[in-house]
Amino acid sequence: MVDDYAETGYIDLLYCSQTGWQIVDFKTDSIRSAAERAELVNKYSRQMRRYASAVETLIGQQVQTRICFLDDNGRIGLVTI
Protein backbone atom coordinates (compact mmCIF):
# COMPACT_ATOMS: atom_id res chain seq x y z
CA MET A 1 0.00 0.00 0.00
CA VAL A 2 1.23 3.46 -0.89
CA ASP A 3 -0.75 6.49 0.24
CA ASP A 4 -3.71 4.22 1.06
CA TYR A 5 -3.94 2.59 -2.36
CA ALA A 6 -2.55 -0.66 -3.69
CA GLU A 7 0.13 -0.53 -6.33
CA THR A 8 0.70 -3.15 -8.96
CA GLY A 9 3.78 -3.96 -10.94
CA TYR A 10 5.73 -6.81 -12.43
CA ILE A 11 9.29 -7.71 -11.55
CA ASP A 12 11.05 -8.83 -14.72
CA LEU A 13 13.66 -11.00 -13.01
CA LEU A 14 14.16 -12.10 -9.40
CA TYR A 15 16.89 -14.59 -8.60
CA CYS A 16 19.24 -15.64 -5.82
CA SER A 17 22.97 -15.50 -6.54
CA GLN A 18 25.99 -16.23 -4.38
CA THR A 19 25.79 -12.64 -3.11
CA GLY A 20 22.06 -12.74 -2.33
CA TRP A 21 18.74 -11.89 -3.93
CA GLN A 22 18.74 -9.78 -7.09
CA ILE A 23 16.01 -7.88 -8.94
CA VAL A 24 16.61 -6.89 -12.56
CA ASP A 25 14.18 -4.75 -14.52
CA PHE A 26 14.63 -4.55 -18.30
CA LYS A 27 14.05 -1.23 -20.05
CA THR A 28 13.77 -0.58 -23.78
CA ASP A 29 14.40 3.19 -23.70
CA SER A 30 16.95 4.35 -26.28
CA ILE A 31 19.78 6.11 -24.46
CA ARG A 32 22.10 8.36 -26.44
CA SER A 33 23.97 10.26 -23.71
CA ALA A 34 25.09 10.09 -20.10
CA ALA A 35 22.53 12.79 -19.28
CA GLU A 36 19.71 10.67 -20.72
CA ARG A 37 20.93 7.66 -18.74
CA ALA A 38 21.02 9.68 -15.50
CA GLU A 39 17.50 11.01 -16.15
CA LEU A 40 16.13 7.52 -16.76
CA VAL A 41 17.91 6.05 -13.74
CA ASN A 42 16.31 8.79 -11.64
CA LYS A 43 12.93 8.10 -13.26
CA TYR A 44 13.04 4.34 -12.58
CA SER A 45 14.74 4.38 -9.15
CA ARG A 46 11.47 4.84 -7.26
CA GLN A 47 9.97 1.84 -9.04
CA MET A 48 13.01 -0.27 -8.15
CA ARG A 49 12.84 0.79 -4.50
CA ARG A 50 9.18 -0.27 -4.38
CA TYR A 51 10.05 -3.66 -5.87
CA ALA A 52 12.88 -4.12 -3.37
CA SER A 53 10.66 -3.17 -0.45
CA ALA A 54 7.96 -5.64 -1.51
CA VAL A 55 10.41 -8.52 -1.98
CA GLU A 56 12.25 -7.75 1.27
CA THR A 57 8.93 -7.80 3.13
CA LEU A 58 8.04 -11.18 1.62
CA ILE A 59 11.37 -12.98 2.04
CA GLY A 60 12.82 -11.17 5.05
CA GLN A 61 16.16 -10.50 3.33
CA GLN A 62 17.74 -7.54 1.61
CA VAL A 63 17.82 -7.51 -2.18
CA GLN A 64 19.98 -5.71 -4.72
CA THR A 65 18.31 -3.96 -7.64
CA ARG A 66 19.54 -3.31 -11.15
CA ILE A 67 18.15 -1.73 -14.26
CA CYS A 68 19.16 -3.34 -17.54
CA PHE A 69 18.91 -0.86 -20.41
CA LEU A 70 18.67 -2.83 -23.65
CA ASP A 71 19.75 0.13 -25.83
CA ASP A 72 22.35 2.11 -23.93
CA ASN A 73 24.00 3.90 -26.84
CA GLY A 74 23.88 0.71 -28.89
CA ARG A 75 24.95 -1.55 -26.03
CA ILE A 76 23.36 -3.28 -23.07
CA GLY A 77 23.83 -1.23 -19.91
CA LEU A 78 23.42 -2.51 -16.36
CA VAL A 79 22.96 0.04 -13.56
CA THR A 80 22.88 -0.86 -9.87
CA ILE A 81 20.34 1.12 -7.88
2 found inside a domain:
no
pLDDT tens across 14-53, in order? Answer: 999 999 999 999 999 999 999 999 999 999 999 999 999 9
- The domain in which residue 66 lies consists of 13-80
Distance CA 73, CA 29 (A): 10
1 found inside a domain:
no
Distance CA 77, CA 13 (A): 16
43 found inside a domain:
yes
SS3 call for 38: helix
What lies within 8 Å, CB to CB, of 61 at 6+ separation is 20, 21
5 found inside a domain:
no
Distance CA 20, CA 22 (A): 7
pLDDT of residue 6: 73
pLDDT at 1 exceeding the cut of 60: no
24 found inside a domain:
yes
Total domain count, the chain: 1
